[in-house]
C-alpha cells in the first residue's frame, strides 16, 4: 500500500528533523533548502511576479530560516513553517519594496545550497510555457495568487494554508480556533476566486459556456 501524503512528507522531512534534533542547524538548514527551496522559490516568483525580486526575497527567506531554525518547535510540518517564512518575507518586501534586505546569506554552506537551488529552479521556470489560464491567474492580486498556489499547486491542507496566510508572526503560535476560523474564511474566498477565474476564462474564450 502506498504511503499517505502525511507519511510521505514525514519521510521527506526526517533528515531535516534528525539534524535539528542533534543541534546541527547548519545541516538541518541545508537539507531544508535542498528539499523545499525549489517549490518555495517558485512560489515567491509567482506571487511577486518578478524573477529578480523573487530571487532576492528567496535569499531573505533562507536567512530567516537559518536564524529561526533553533527556535522551531515542530508544532507544524517543516513545509508549512517554510511557506510561512516565505510568505512573511514576501509581505515585508511588498510593504517596503525600496528596501534591500539581507541578500547575502551569513552562513556560507547554506548560501551555496541556495545558489544551486536558485540556478536550477529559475532555469526550469524560464522553460515553462505559460498557458492562458496561467496568465489569468497572474492578473489576480497577491493574496489570491498565494491562496491558489498553496491550495491547488502545493496541495496543502486547509489548516496549513490558514497558518501560512495568517497575519505575519501569527501562524506559528495561532490557536486551533484561530486556524479553524481562518481556514473557513479562506475556503469561501477560494470559491470566489475560482468563480472569478471561470468568468474571466469564458470571457476570453478559454472555456465554453455551459
Is the per-residue pLDDT at 103 higher than 70?
Answer: no
Alpha carbons 58 and 68: distance in angstroms, whole number: 15
- The whole-number pLDDT of residue 129 equals 39
Is the per-residue pLDDT at 4 higher than 90?
Answer: no
- The whole-number pLDDT of residue 40 equals 95
Give the contacts of 162 (CB within 8 A, at least 6 positions apart): 174, 179, 180, 182, 183, 186
Residues in the chain: 210
Is the per-residue pLDDT at 60 higher than 60?
Answer: yes
Is the per-residue pLDDT at 128 higher than 70?
Answer: no
- Mind giving me the DSSP string for 27-73? HHHHHHHHHHHHHHHHHHHHHHT-HHHHHHHHHHHHHHHHHHGGG--
Segment 39-65 mean pLDDT: 92
Segment 117-121 mean pLDDT: 85
8 A C-beta contact, residue 33 and residue 117: yes
pTM for this entry: 0.81
Amino acid at each position: 500500500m502506498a504511503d499517505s501524503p502525511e507519511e510521505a512528507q514525514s519521510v521527506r522531512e526526517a533528515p531535516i528533523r534528525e539534524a535539528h534534533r542533534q543541534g546541527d542547524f547548519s545541516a538541518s538548514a541545508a537539507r531544508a533548502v535542498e528539499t523545499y527551496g525549489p517549490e518555495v522559490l517558485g512560489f515567491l516568483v509567482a506571487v511577486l511576479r518578478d524573477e529578480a525580486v523573487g530571487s532576492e526575497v528567496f535569499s531573505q527567506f533562507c536567512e530567516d530560516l537559518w536564524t529561526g531554525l533553533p527556535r522551531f518547535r515542530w508544532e507544524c510540518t517543516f513545509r508549512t513553517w517554510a511557506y510561512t517564512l516565505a510568505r512573511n518575507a514576501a509581505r515585508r518586501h511588498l510593504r517596503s519594496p525600496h528596501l534591500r534586505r539581507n541578500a547575502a546569506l551569513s552562513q556560507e554552506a547554506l548560501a551555496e545550497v541556495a545558489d544551486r537551488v536558485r540556478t536550477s529552479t529559475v532555469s526550469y521556470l524560464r522553460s515553462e510555457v505559460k498557458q492562458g489560464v496561467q496568465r489569468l491567474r497572474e492578473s489576480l492580486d497577491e493574496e489570491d495568487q498565494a491562496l491558489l498556489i498553496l491550495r491547488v499547486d502545493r496541495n496543502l491542507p486547509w489548516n496549513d494554508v490558514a497558518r501560512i496566510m495568517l497575519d505575519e508572526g501569527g501562524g506559528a503560535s495561532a490557536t486551533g480556533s484561530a486556524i479553524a476560523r481562518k481556514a473557513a474564511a479562506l475556503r469561501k474566498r477560494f470559491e470566489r476566486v475560482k468563480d472569478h477565474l471561470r468568468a474571466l476564462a469564458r470571457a476570453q474564450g478559454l472555456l465554453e459556456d455551459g
